[in-house]
């Protein structure tokens, strides 16, 4: 809880596909992240934070709603995020916050706001059902949008890309709105500022690429034992037939590191805007990501699995009332929903609709130093491409358990075996632990029922998308409103008043 009775501003700065392993804040010896380092130095760093689905849209749906994807049918990157599902933006708005989104959230469906009072940019990916997988033909690639190895082989530098243009715009509009909140005395406010970097393609501007020497780039570890899902992924991304050279791998990692530093520079711009607008001291800042990136580890790239580089995310809190330290408790993105509601400390109780179905647990005890007895737990689900059956991950204590009906169980001690090389599921000394997790998995969901629902929604969405492609285009893509007649100085305005109103700090007469 914040140190005063005043409601703190809450800002989430979100990366896309950022594994904590590849940041200076999480002790990578090469990657430069000075702004994230600074937040971690004055706040709380979570070392066992996980996404709840290792894929963009499902992860973000859980993050926004505080619910598992199986509870909201948010299975994949073409699943609709229904307007009736409460989000933390709705709840904070109810608590008196101005809520704002700048950047990516990968909402699918006609509702492109989900509780945000304003949205400053369009999204970067489609909002329709085009990217619907087919679990009844799960071994067939959908070439139009499936990942392949082009991002690795074509890694390098460029003057600009659509991702650079998008993130520059996302940061510019967010910084401007922060200043306007100060000018107009908007208090409290909550913003999600969500970037696409360091998501592939692995292409960086030269100034970020040149922060690193190719000879210094560490190579991935590829000597891990395989498993059925790893093999499915290798086929799905064509890593089984399109083998990158060592130099291509090194280039991809160098570009990724460069783009991590680029993202970090955006953190710096946002923090600077808060500081210059005299709002930093009453703002809780959270930096996180929707999932990680294997970046060649185990011969895998991108995400879509539950290994640490894919499923873990950075999570750093800093701001009023946040203790300084490092937490090893397992937590996840859906825990942010109840955390934000508690940080907002509204005098009125939230309506039941905001709290009844939340699957997360507030992290405020961990943030405030009152976390003794807190038993952290992270659960993640995967029901998307390169699979044919629901997959479940449970992280509790030192152990991670992975279940899928058609695959052998996996059990890892991720503290003593961080590379997840030794599967303990059949180890005689770990049978009690394995049985406990197996029981939890069976209690968590009816896997076959979930599978049938996934396939049912896939049928519906493919049919809807095929129909929507006929005739006139009806787009759900968000169109940011803009009225030039009200911007800067216009004839119906007194320019001296406009100048005074938009100056911060104001001139002291």
Q: What is the pLDDT of residues 44-79, one digit of tens each?
A: 999 999 999 999 999 999 999 999 999 999 999 999
SS3 at position 270: helix
pLDDT at 139: 83
Active site residue 56: yes
Task: Classify residue 433: in a domain, yes or no.
Answer: no
Instruction: Assess whether 106 carries a catalytic annotation.
Output: yes
Q: CA torsion angle for 287, 291, 295, 297 (degrees, to 10)?
A: 120
> Is residue 200 in some structural domain?
yes
| Domain range for 208 | 9-381
The DSSP annotation for 75-100 comes to -STTS---TTS--HHHHHHHTT-EEE
- Classify residue 294: in a domain, yes or no: yes
By the 8 A CB rule, do 416 and 363 touch?
Answer: no
pLDDT score recorded for residue 3:
44
Catalytic residue (choose from 21, 35, 51, 56): 56
Write a three-state SS string for 179-238.
HHHHHCCCCCEEEEEEEEEECCCCEECHHHHCCCCHHHCCCCCCCCCCCHHHHHHHHHCC
In a domain, 328, yes or no: yes
Per-residue pLDDT of 413-449, as tens digits, reads: 999 999 999 999 999 999 999 999 999 999 999 999 9
Selected catalytic residue, list 21, 94, 106, 147: 106
309 lies in a domain?
yes
Whole-model pTM: value is 0.96
Q: Which parts of the chain register pLDDT below 70?
A: 1-4, 347
CATH number at residue 258: 3.40.720.10
Domain membership flag for residue 188 = yes
Indicate the burial class of 407 (C-beta count within 10 angstroms; 0-12, 13-18, 19 or more).
middle
pLDDT of residue 1: 39
- How many Cβ atoms sit within 10 Å of the Cβ of residue 145? 15
Closest of 336, 404, 330 to residue 371, by C-alpha: 330
The answer to whether residue 452 is domain-embedded is no
Domain count, the chain: 1
Q: How far apart are CA 295 and CA 259, in angstroms?
A: 13
Q: Which residues contact 176 (CB under 8 A, 6 or more apart)?
A: none
Chain length of the chain: 509
Question: Is position 468 within any domain?
Answer: no
- Does the CA dihedral 123-125-129-134 come out positive or negative? negative
Can you count the helices (H) and strands (E) in the chain? 16, 16
């Amino acid at each position: 809880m914040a140190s005063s009775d005043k409601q703190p501003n809450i800002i989430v700065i979100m990366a896309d596909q950022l594994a904590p392993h590849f940041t200076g804040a999480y002790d990578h010896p090469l990657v430069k992240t000075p702004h994230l380092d600074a937040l971690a130095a004055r706040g709380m760093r979570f070392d066992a934070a996980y996404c709840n689905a290792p894929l963009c849209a499902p992860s973000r749906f859980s993050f926004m709603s505080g619910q598992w994807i199986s509870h909201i049918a948010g299975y994949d990157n073409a699943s609709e995020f229904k307007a009736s599902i409460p989000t933390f933006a709705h709840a904070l708005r109810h608590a008196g916050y101005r809520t704002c989104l700048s950047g990516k959230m990968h909402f699918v469906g006609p509702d492109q706001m989900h509780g945000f009072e304003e949205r400053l940019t369009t999204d970067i990916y489609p909002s329709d059902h085009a990217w619907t997988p087919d679990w009844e033909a799960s071994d067939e690639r959908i070439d139009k949008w499936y990942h392949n190895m082009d991002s690795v082989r074509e890694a390098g530098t460029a003057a600009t890309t659509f991702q650079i243009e998008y993130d520059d715009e996302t940061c510019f509009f967010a910084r401007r709105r922060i200043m306007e909140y100060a000018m107009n005395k908007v208090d409290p406010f909550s913003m999600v500022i969500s970037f696409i970097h360091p998501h592939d393609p692995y292409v960086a501007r030269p100034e970020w690429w040149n922060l690193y020497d190719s000879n210094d780039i560490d190579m991935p570890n590829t000597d891990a034992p395989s498993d059925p899902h790893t093999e499915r992924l290798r086929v799905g991304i064509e890593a089984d037939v399109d083998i990158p050279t060592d130099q291509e791998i090194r280039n991809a990692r160098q570009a990724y590191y460069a783009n991590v530093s680029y993202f970090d520079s955006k953190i710096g711009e946002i923090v600077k805007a808060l500081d210059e607008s005299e709002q930093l001291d009453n703002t809780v800042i959270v930096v996180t990501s929707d999932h990680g990136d294997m970046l060649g580890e185990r011969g895998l790239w991108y995400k879509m699995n539950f290994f640490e580089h894919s499923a873990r995310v950075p999570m750093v809190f800093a701001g009023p009332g946040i203790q300084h330290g490092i937490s090893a408790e397992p937590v996840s993105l859906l825990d942010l929903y109840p955390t934000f509601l508690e940080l907002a400390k509204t005098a009125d109780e939230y309506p039941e609709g905001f709290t009844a179905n939340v699957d997360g647990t507030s992290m405020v005890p961990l943030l405030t130093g009152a976390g003794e007895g807190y038993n952290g737990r992270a659960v993640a689900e995967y029901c998307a491409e390169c699979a044919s059956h629901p997959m479940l991950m449970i992280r509790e204590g030192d152990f991670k358990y992975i279940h899928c009906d058609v695959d052998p169980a996996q059990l890892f001690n991720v503290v003593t075996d961080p590379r997840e090389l030794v599967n303990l599921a059949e180890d005689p000394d770990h049978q009690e632990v394995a049985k406990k997790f197996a029981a939890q998995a069976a209690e968590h969901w009816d896997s076959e029922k979930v599978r049938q629902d996934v396939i049912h929604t896939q049928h519906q969405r493919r049919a809807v998308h095929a129909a929507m492609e006929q005739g006139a285009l009806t787009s759900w893509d968000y169109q940011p409103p803009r009225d030039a007649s009200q911007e800067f100085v216009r004839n119906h305005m007194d320019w001296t008043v406009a100048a005074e109103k938009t100056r911060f700090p104001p001139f002291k007469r």
